[in-house]
């Protein structure tokens, strides 16, 4: 082979290699992009992904992301005001940077404020949320990471223990804010023979009536999750909290994160025995004939869709088409007609 032919051969091979590389690269990008527009699972119907259950529904009663996370601080330029957090409890806010200066207020652990200037002689100038300006000892000021801000600055709800009206027990609101007393336990009975899913015994006959009526229309409202003990709720919740704590979160932060998946003990309607999760197929319950039947008839038996799609910001619970709550026939019909959720109907909100 001549030298010239050899050069041609080498050039030819190089060209072929480049061409092959281009083809492989092109195929690879096509594979990466996948089918971005393809529906996933085929059931979400445009729901934001946060309102969808990941897996294992009935256990969780997961709630969507808690209200607005704190915005990231814009930068750490030298004198830019930033959010600080009180790292002690009962920490004084003083009129000047001295322990002998007048006391303007007291901060609790985790309370946030604005640090308006740099540290001077062990004191930070601060402004509280009510506008009070003063100084806090630098040893009690911490600047947490942006990802931790929401835990202390916004949105953690102070729970209130509900008192149950003896006459209107069926209208009791339990939620992330309104919690049952820890020892609450209703008298139970089982609506469907052979299925270990009890309800408050006062609700059971209404579920049975609804179940039988649906059955006549060819729909099976199989109980999937009814009453659940507060202690079991607590165990589930604490397990989740522990997971988040092991990831390095504070207790408060871990509780908040856990509450997005499992309602805290006493916060679930299942603890009260007034709600049933109804699931009978593996497809999205929203698309079943049972769901359509419930939408039309459940109120006639005193049940409402407790966590509607368009009320997530009020209920603080993800859309749950399977979760039906007893409120009595009269109120169920009124609630359905009004288009309100239970919080709106009762004028009780979760913040």
Q: Which of 150, 153, 269, 320 is catalytic?
A: 320
The CA distance from 88 to 107, in Å, is 8
Q: How far is the CB of 186 from Zn ion (least distance, A)?
A: 16
Which of these segments, 115-123, 139-147, 238-246, 274-282, binds Zn ion (CB under 5 A)? Answer: 274-282
Residue pair 173/348 in contact by the 8 Å Cβ criterion: yes
Residue pair 262/240 in contact by the 8 Å Cβ criterion: yes
The CA distance from 32 to 71, in Å, is 32
Alpha-carbon distances, residue 129 vs 101, 112, 126, 305 (angstroms): 21, 8, 10, 38
For Zn ion, which residue has the nearest CB? 323
Q: How far is the CB of 224 from Zn ion (least distance, A)?
A: 9
Tell me the site size for Zn ion, rule CB under 5 A. 2
Residue of 255, 264, 52 whose CA lies nearest to 150: 255
Alpha-carbon distances, residue 281 vs 64, 93, 285 (angstroms): 24, 59, 7
Alpha-carbon distances, residue 35 vs 32, 232, 313 (angstroms): 9, 42, 31
Which of 277/331 has CB closer to Zn ion? 277
The CA distance from 206 to 213, in Å, is 11
Which of these segments, 33-41, 288-296, 309-317, 321-329, binds Zn ion (CB under 5 A)? Answer: 321-329
Q: How far is the CB of 28 from Zn ion (least distance, A)?
A: 44
Question: Residue 308: helix, strand or coil by DSSP?
Answer: coil
* Sign, CA torsion 282/286/292/298: positive
Which of 169/224 has CB closer to Zn ion? 224
Q: 249-275 b/e with 16+ CB inside 10 Å = b?
A: beeebbbbbbbbbbbbbbbbbbbbbbb
Could you give the strand order of the β-sheet that contains 275-278, starting from the edge strand earlier in sequence? 223-225, 275-278, 323-326, 303-305
**Known catalytic residue at 320:** yes
Which of 115/276 has CB closer to Zn ion? 276
Beta bridge partners of 200: 188
- Is there binding between residue 277 and Zn ion (CB under 5 A)? yes
* Choice from 197, 206, 316, 323 touching Zn ion (CB under 5 A): 323
Which of 36/54 has CB closer to Zn ion? 54
Which of these segments, 85-93, 163-171, 273-281, 296-304, binds Zn ion (CB under 5 A)? Answer: 273-281
Q: How far is the CB of 322 from Zn ion (least distance, A)?
A: 7
- Is there binding between residue 285 and Zn ion (CB under 5 A)? no
Which of 116/222 has CB closer to Zn ion? 222
- Is there binding between residue 276 and Zn ion (CB under 5 A)? no
Q: How far is the CB of 314 from Zn ion (least distance, A)?
A: 17
Q: How far is the CB of 306 from Zn ion (least distance, A)?
A: 8
Which of 152/175 has CB closer to Zn ion? 175
E strand spans, the chain? 82-86, 91-94, 103-107, 112-115, 123-127, 133-137, 141-142, 160-161, 178-179, 188-189, 199-200, 223-225, 275-278, 303-305, 323-326
Which of 107/262 has CB closer to Zn ion? 262
Question: Residue 168: helix, strand or coil by DSSP?
Answer: coil
Q: How far is the CB of 39 from Zn ion (least distance, A)?
A: 26
Which of these segments, 73-81, 123-131, 142-150, 315-323, binds Zn ion (CB under 5 A)? Answer: 315-323
Which of these segments, 20-28, 73-81, 258-266, 318-326, binds Zn ion (CB under 5 A)? Answer: 318-326
- Positions touching Zn ion (CB under 5 A) are 277, 323
Q: Would you name the residues annotated as active-site residues?
A: 320
């Amino acid at each position: 082979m001549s030298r010239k032919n050899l050069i041609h051969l080498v050039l030819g091979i190089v060209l072929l290699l480049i061409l092959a590389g281009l083809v492989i690269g092109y195929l690879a990008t096509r594979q990466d992009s996948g089918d971005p527009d393809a529906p996933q699972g085929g059931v979400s119907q445009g729901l934001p992904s946060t309102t969808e259950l990941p897996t294992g529904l009935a256990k969780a009663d997961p709630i969507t992301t808690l209200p607005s996370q704190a915005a990231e601080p814009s930068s750490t330029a030298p004198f830019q005001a930033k959010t600080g957090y009180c790292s002690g409890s009962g920490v004084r806010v003083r009129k000047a940077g001295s322990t002998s200066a007048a006391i303007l207020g007291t901060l609790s652990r985790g309370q946030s404020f604005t640090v308006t200037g740099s540290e001077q002689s062990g004191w930070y100038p601060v402004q509280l949320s009510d506008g009070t300006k003063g100084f806090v000892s630098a040893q009690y000021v911490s600047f947490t990471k942006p990802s931790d801000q929401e835990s202390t600055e916004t949105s953690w709800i102070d729970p209130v223990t509900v008192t149950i009206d003896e006459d209107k027990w069926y209208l009791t609101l339990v939620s992330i804010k309104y919690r049952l007393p820890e020892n609450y336990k209703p008298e139970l009975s089982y609506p469907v023979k052979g299925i270990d899913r009890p309800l408050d015994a006062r609700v059971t006959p209404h579920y049975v009536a609804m179940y039988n009526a649906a059955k006549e229309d060819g729909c099976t409202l199989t109980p999937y999750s009814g009453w659940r003990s507060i202690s079991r709720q607590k165990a589930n919740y604490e397990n989740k909290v522990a997971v988040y704590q092991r990831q390095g979160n504070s207790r408060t932060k871990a509780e908040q994160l856990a509450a997005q998946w499992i309602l805290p003990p006493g916060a679930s309607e299942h603890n009260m025995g007034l709600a049933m999760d109804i699931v009978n197929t593996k497809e999205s319950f929203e698309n079943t004939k049972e769901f359509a039947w419930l939408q039309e008839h459940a109120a006639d038996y005193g049940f409402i869709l407790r966590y509607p799609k368009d009320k997530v910001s009020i209920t603080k619970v993800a859309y749950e088409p399977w979760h039906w709550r007893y409120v009595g026939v009269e109120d169920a019909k009124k609630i359905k007609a009004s288009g309100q959720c239970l919080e709106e109907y009762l004028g009780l909100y979760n913040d």
